[in-house]
């Protein structure tokens, strides 16, 4: 399914560092032009440095998604089913929020991961993106982009991890990884 709308869909994917940072950079650029930007982060705690900074800027709208208590691989079948229900419900509310705010840019951070872990159905992800594209640009991030979003995308940037300190056992660092 091709995206024929005048607004473009951007995907930042691949296993290298920089996908979320790139999408937040795009948000910053839009905000600098006085535009309205909606930011939603799937599968994350809302405590990142980028959200704290963006919250202070006029025109930025952070939509909090249902929290994830544990990683999906730590969930039993019942826990996974409940999480799918919560995340799907949260994505539906997000879609209403996009329609209400009509932002110039929607950042849907880690949507590709939520999709590949089957936390929300692909149809809903596609309709989230289509709703965003009615009003502005949409940027989606996450490893393992696939399926209909990839078919629809106008920009696809794949970042490769040629080297990463994680390989030497260095954990996530404040201000750098979150
Ligand atoms: P960033 O948020 O720094 O822009 P990202 O969005 O590209 O990175 P994700 O794939 O979302 O990275 O991974 C989540 C976390 O893992 C981030 O803290 C990120 O910095 C870190 N990370 C990114 N690439 C790697 C890698 N190849 N190995 C280990 N950790 C990584
Ligand atoms: Mg990321």
What pLDDT is recorded for position 154?
A: 98
pTM for the full model?
0.93
What pLDDT is recorded for position 123?
A: 98
Cα of 65 from ligand 1 centre, angstroms: 20
Tell me the percentage of the chain whose pLDDT exceeds 70: 97
172 touches ligand 1 (CB under 6 Å): yes
- Nearest ligand for residue 176 CA: 1
Cα of 124 from ligand 2 centre, angstroms: 20
Residues ≥6 apart with Cβ < 8 Å to 13: 19, 112, 141, 142, 143, 144, 145, 156, 157, 158, 159
160 touches ligand 1 (CB under 6 Å): no
Cα of 79 from ligand 1 centre, angstroms: 25
pLDDT beyond 90 at 92: yes
Confidence of residue 45 (pLDDT cuts 50, 70, 90): confident
* Residue 172 burial by Cβ neighbours in a 10 Å radius (0-12, 13-18, 19+): exposed
pLDDT digits (tens, 9 = 90+) for 111-120: 999 999 999 9
Residues ≥6 apart with Cβ < 8 Å to 62: 39, 40, 46, 51, 54, 55
What pLDDT is recorded for position 1?
A: 57
pLDDT beyond 80 at 42: yes
- Nearest ligand for residue 172 CA: 1
What pLDDT is recorded for position 3?
A: 67
pLDDT digits (tens, 9 = 90+) for 113-153: 999 999 999 999 999 999 999 999 999 999 999 999 999 99
pLDDT beyond 80 at 4: no
What pLDDT is recorded for position 72?
A: 85
What pLDDT is recorded for position 95?
A: 98
Q: What number does CATH give the domain 9-163?
A: 3.40.50.300
Q: How many residues make up the chain in this entry?
A: 178
Q: What is the atom index within ligand 1 of the atom nearest the CA of 141? A: 6
Q: Domain boundaries in the chain?
A: 9-163
What pLDDT is recorded for position 71?
A: 84
- Nearest ligand for residue 50 CA: 1
User: Which segments within 47-154 are labelled E, that is strand?
Assistant: 60-63, 105-109, 137-141
155 touches ligand 1 (CB under 6 Å): no
What pLDDT is recorded for position 47?
A: 86
Identify how many contiguous H helices and E strands the chain contains and give both numbers: 6, 6
Report the mean per-residue pLDDT for the chain: 94
């Amino acid at each position: 399914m091709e995206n024929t709308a005048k607004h473009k869909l951007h995907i930042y994917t691949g296993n290298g560092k920089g996908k979320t940072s790139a999408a937040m950079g795009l948000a910053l650029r839009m905000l600098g032009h006085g535009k309205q930007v909606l930011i939603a982060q799937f599968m994350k705690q809302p405590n990142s440095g980028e959200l704290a900074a963006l919250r202070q800027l006029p025109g930025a709208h952070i939509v909090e998604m249902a929290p994830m208590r544990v990683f999906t691989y730590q969930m039993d079948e019942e826990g996974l089913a409940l999480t799918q229900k919560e995340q799907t419900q949260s994505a539906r509310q997000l879609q209403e929020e996009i329609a209400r705010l009509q932002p110039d840019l929607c950042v849907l951070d880690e949507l590709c991961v939520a999709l590949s872990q089957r936390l929300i159905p692909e149809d809903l992800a596609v309709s989230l993106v289509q709703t965003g594209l009615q009003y502005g640009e949409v940027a989606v991030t996450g490893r393992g982009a696939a399926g209909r979003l990839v078919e629809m995308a106008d920009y696809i940037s794949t970042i490769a991890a040629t080297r990463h300190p994680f390989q030497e056992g260095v954990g996530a660092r404040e201000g750098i990884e979150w």
